[in-house]
Amino acid sequence: MLGGAVLWEKDGHLGYITLNRPERLNAMNNEVLEGIAEALQVATTDDDVRVIIFRGAGRAFSAGFDLSPNAEEIGQHRDTVDDRNRLQANTDLWLKIWDCPKPVIAQVHGYCLAGATQLCVFTDITVVADEAIVGFPMIPVGGGYISPMWSWLVGPKRAKQMSFMPGSQISGKQAEDWGFANMSVPAADLERTVKEMAEKIATVPAKILQIKKAAVNRTMDVQGFRTAVTFGAEYDALLHSSEPVEKLAGMIRKHGLKGAIAAFNAGENE
């Protein structure tokens, strides 16, 4: 439901979708994902909206999927096929951003971790604060779900580097240098920079923007982008049913996420 975990507002031809769980660093749970889908539908069908902007309330864009002990990601044991279907539903949501006929911008500040970086991959433009922290999960409870998406932007070697080392992080400036983000700006200038960019884009007629976006996306789709990113749900579901990940998930349920990270770093997973 809009107005809860996800906010929707308009400013002229701009539409803002705000992740709104600041007390959890906007960690994404089912409520957030459903709110994103609803807000995206509203934005897509509103003829006044020319450009859509994703942002986060509070101190972060998003810390990724909610891995707290009671969250949907960790708190349930699933059949592998059911798990694959759940993960595929997440990818399908990101593909709705990819297929949205309107330009979509990610406005990133604070933390942008794990699953939140997936959202950014599917936006058309990503603008980050210099001081932003962009990175992978702190504890390896999956694999093959995030890194293949990154590889399209930063290349396979950097994607592997981020994936292989738990808790890998880069700054906003590095994210620009690597190609994950279009540009990095001082945090104080982030909102203004994005708004000015969006307003400039919004001067272009909507039908022209739609075809411009489709033309670029088509070049990536014929190279296999859409097929490749959907494989991630299968790789992750496979690992979720493995003994090492089951053990790590159990540590999160027992100790909480911070406690599990500390235990993992202390070698208790071995």
Per residue in 74-133, pLDDT tens?
Answer: 545 678 999 999 999 999 999 999 999 999 999 999 999 999 999 999 999 999 999 999
- Whether residue 39 contacts residue 1, with contact meaning beta carbons closer than 8 Å, is answered with no
What pLDDT is stored for residue 269 in this prediction?
Answer: 64
Residue 11 has pLDDT above 80, yes or no: yes
Answer whether residue 194 shows pLDDT above 80: yes
Across 36-44, average pLDDT: 98
Q: What is the mean pLDDT of residues 37-57?
A: 98
What value does the mean pLDDT of the chain take? Answer: 93
| Residue 266 pLDDT | 85
Tokens 């002229």 belong to residue? 12
Within 8 A by CB and 6+ apart from 5, the residues are: 19, 20, 21, 29, 31, 32, 35
Query: How far apart are the C-alpha atoms of 151 and 160, rounded to whole Å?
Result: 8
Q: Answer yes or no: are the C-beta atoms of 265 and 248 closer than 8 Å.
A: no
* pTM reported for the whole predicted model: 0.93
What pLDDT, in 10s, does the model give residues 17-34? 999 999 999 999 999 999
If you search the block for the tokens 């950097």, which residue do you land on?
158
Residue 14 has pLDDT above 50, yes or no: yes
CA–CA separation, 210 vs 221, rounded Å?
Answer: 16
Give pLDDT, residue 187. Answer: 98
- Please say whether the beta carbons of 264 and 251 come within 8 A: yes
The residue-averaged pLDDT of 49-74 equals 86
Instruction: Yes or no: say if 154 and 180 are a contact pair by the CB < 8 Å rule.
Output: yes
Q: Going edge to edge, which strands form the sheet with 104-108?
A: 6-11, 14-19, 51-56, 104-108, 125-129, 183-185
Domain coordinates of the chain in residue numbers? 6-188+204-265
123-164: per-residue pLDDT in tens?
999 999 999 999 999 998 888 899 999 999 999 999 999 999
In the chain, what percentage of residues exceed pLDDT 70?
96
Least confident of 118-127, 158-167, 195-204, 251-260: 251-260
Nearest to 115 by CA among 221, 4, 208, 26: 26
Report pLDDT for 133: 98
What's the token pair of residue 76? 């349930």
According to CATH, the superfamily of the domain at 6-188+204-265 is 2-enoyl-CoA Hydratase; Chain A, domain 1 (3.90.226.10)
Residue 98 one-letter amino acid: W
